């Protein structure tokens, strides 16, 4: 496994995906990308990212179901997964945490805050 922290971004909106990727790459994170939950699960199984930023609203399987599948497999159960969604009501946040997400990021993404948010969520971040 690489010492370089790796973040898997699962996001169906190309602009949001590019924004998050560019910000994280700029501050030194390696990133992986998926536009669907199905692809995200496959990448997670193979690459074991340190963190998954999981868009909740996705075509086909949504982020909550994808989280359930990650947790159900021993190989991916321990990966940190953060819900990313524009739904910002308090009850939504509680629902996502109850579903087993390790955290919650609101859209629109705050590009100045994102690196710090990700650093706080990554286990054992050793980024210089």
Residues in contact with Mn ion by the rule CB under 5 A: 12, 55, 57
Cβ atoms within 10 Å, residue 98 = 8
For the bound state, the minimum distance from the C-beta of residue 107 to Mn ion, rounded and expressed in Å, comes to 9
Is the CB of 5 or the CB of 41 nearer to Mn ion? 41
> How many other β-carbons are positioned within 10 Å of the β-carbon of residue 16?
17
Task: Give me 85's structure tokens.
Answer: 């969604």
Task: Kindly tell me which of 55 and 82 has the beta carbon lying closer to Mn ion.
Answer: 55
Length of the chain: 128
Closest to Mn ion by CB, 59 or 78 = 59
**Helix, strand, coil content of the chain in percent (nearest 5):** 40, 20, 40
Instruction: Give the strands of the sheet with 103-106, arranged side by side.
Output: 30-34, 6-10, 51-55, 80-85, 103-106
Q: How far is the CB of 55 from Mn ion (least distance, A)?
A: 4
- Is the CB of 5 or the CB of 52 nearer to Mn ion? 52
CB-nearest residue to Mn ion: 57
Residue 62 Cβ vs Mn ion, minimum distance, rounded to whole Å: 9
Q: How far is the CB of 52 from Mn ion (least distance, A)?
A: 14
């Amino acid at each position: 496994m690489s010492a370089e922290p790796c973040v898997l971004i699962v996001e169906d909106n190309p602009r949001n995906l590019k924004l998050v990727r560019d910000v994280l790459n700029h501050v030194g994170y390696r990133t992986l990308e998926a536009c669907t939950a199905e692809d995200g699960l496959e990448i997670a199984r193979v690459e074991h990212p340190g963190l998954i930023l999981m868009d909740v609203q996705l075509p086909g399987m949504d982020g909550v179901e994808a989280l359930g599948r990650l947790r159900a497999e021993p190989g991916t159960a321990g990966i940190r997964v953060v819900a990313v969604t524009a739904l910002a009501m308090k009850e939504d946040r509680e629902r996502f945490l109850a579903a087993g997400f390790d955290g919650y990021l609101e859209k629109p993404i705050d590009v100045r805050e994102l690196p710090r948010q990700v650093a706080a969520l990554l286990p054992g971040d050793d980024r210089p």
